[in-house]
Amino acid sequence: MKKMLITGGAGFIGSHAAEYFANAGYNVKVFDNLSRALLLKKEGNLNHNWDYLKQKGSVELIKGDIRDQQAIETAAKDCDVILHTAAQTAVTTSLVDPREDFTTNSLGTFNVLEAARKNNVKSLIYCSTNKVYGHNVNNIPIKESKTRYDFEESFKKGVPVDFSIDHCEHTPYGASKLSGDIYAQDYSCIYGIKCGVFRMSCIYGTRQFGVEDQGWVAWFVIASLLNKPITIYGDGKQVRDVLFVNDLINAYDLFLKSNLKGGVFNTGGGPSNTLSLIELLEIIKTKVGSIPELKYAGWRPSDQKVFVSDITQLKKRLGWLPITKPEDGVSKIIDWSKKNINLLK
């Protein structure tokens, strides 16, 4: 039985991965410092996914911080795979407290990679982000319609993995995640660890406790169900390719089963699964019956008007394509949120 360590395993993506790989026959250990409420500056119990996994009983839970080198090295002992999802995830938080962002995303990732190297871990998946491309994405020509922006025809497949990351603003979050991205690639080349770098676009799904600064699809659903005002930064026409979490975990699984020695993948819903903020609100209004009060504010630093992932490499090298359409994924979030409304208040 293969052993897997999932950092940040009590988070949204990490907990779904823990459940999936435990069901697939892995011996799964979850490593998490349970800091979600502090990071997102939100009161209440944000450790639902930790409690959820505890009830399952098939996953070992370890409370620890990736910034603690000894703790992560001990947790990685005898593991075959590390799935590194632990991170500071909000751009706005990185602007307010760049040191916290750096120590978590840059130093924390270095500690995880060192834990893999010292323990002879064979495979590692690094959760990167589309923010590694920074403000350069806004130099791509776009066209505007009533409800959205879109890339011009020359980028109809989306942003490729060889798109420039240089000479532009990234925000501290983008910079810290990029450092981990490059380090993961280097550890693959130098130390022979099978590293998959997944530059993720907008991942959404059930058990996602979205807030204004992070997890916007889930946040719009939660705010609508609780009748909390929603602030639109910009004009609401900004577009992302959205990817349901189950489809993401499937991509991880295909990579681990593949003969690839490593790879960098832009990971999102691709051109066939895009939403603007305005379009998401229309879907919610149709399915819920109403949306709350909308407020408008200025664009945030390095906000990309459009980001769509070119997922050609995932299709070509792993035979992967997303399955869940945005309307279906949003419906699943609505259904889960209604059943668990007391957790969201």
Q: Residue 59 — very low, low, confident or very high, per pLDDT cuts 50/70/90?
A: very high
The CB density around residue 229, as the number of other CB atoms within 10 Å, is: 10
The stretch 78-96 carries a mean pLDDT of: 95
Kindly state the percentage of the chain with pLDDT values over 90.
90
Strand, coil or helix: what is 200? strand
Predicted confidence (pLDDT) at residue 29 exceeds the cutoff of 80 = yes
CA-CA-CA-CA torsion sign (166, 172, 177, 179)? positive
The stretch 208-224 carries a mean pLDDT of: 94
The stretch 61-73 carries a mean pLDDT of: 98
Amino acid identity at 67: R
Query: Interior CA angle at 274 toward 271 and 277, to 5°?
Result: 155
The stretch 311-321 carries a mean pLDDT of: 98
Show which residues are catalytic.
173
Q: What is the pLDDT of residue 43?
A: 64
Q: Which of 93-97, 105-109, 123-127, 217-221 has the lowest mean pLDDT?
A: 93-97
The stretch 218-239 carries a mean pLDDT of: 97
Q: Where are the domains of the chain?
A: 3-344
Predicted confidence (pLDDT) at residue 62 exceeds the cutoff of 80 = yes
Angle between helices 12-23 and 245-257 (to 10 degrees): 50
Q: Residue 39 — very low, low, confident or very high, per pLDDT cuts 50/70/90?
A: low
The stretch 177-185 carries a mean pLDDT of: 98
Q: What is the pLDDT of residue 329?
A: 98
Return the closest-CA partner of residue 3 out of 41, 35, 30.
30
Q: Residue 214 — very low, low, confident or very high, per pLDDT cuts 50/70/90?
A: confident
- Quick one: tokens of 193? 């660890």
Does the domain spanning 3-344 belong to CATH 1.10.3470.10? no
The stretch 301-327 carries a mean pLDDT of: 95
Q: What is the pLDDT of residue 36?
A: 76
DSSP labels for 133-158?
GGGGGGGS-EEE-SS-EEE-GGGTT-
Return the closest-CA partner of residue 302 out of 174, 212, 144, 110.
174
The span from the CA of 122 to the CA of 120, in Å, is 6
Q: What is the pLDDT of residue 109?
A: 98
Predicted confidence (pLDDT) at residue 124 exceeds the cutoff of 70 = yes
Q: What is the pLDDT of residue 202?
A: 96
Q: Residue 14 — very low, low, confident or very high, per pLDDT cuts 50/70/90?
A: very high
Q: Residue 40 — very low, low, confident or very high, per pLDDT cuts 50/70/90?
A: low
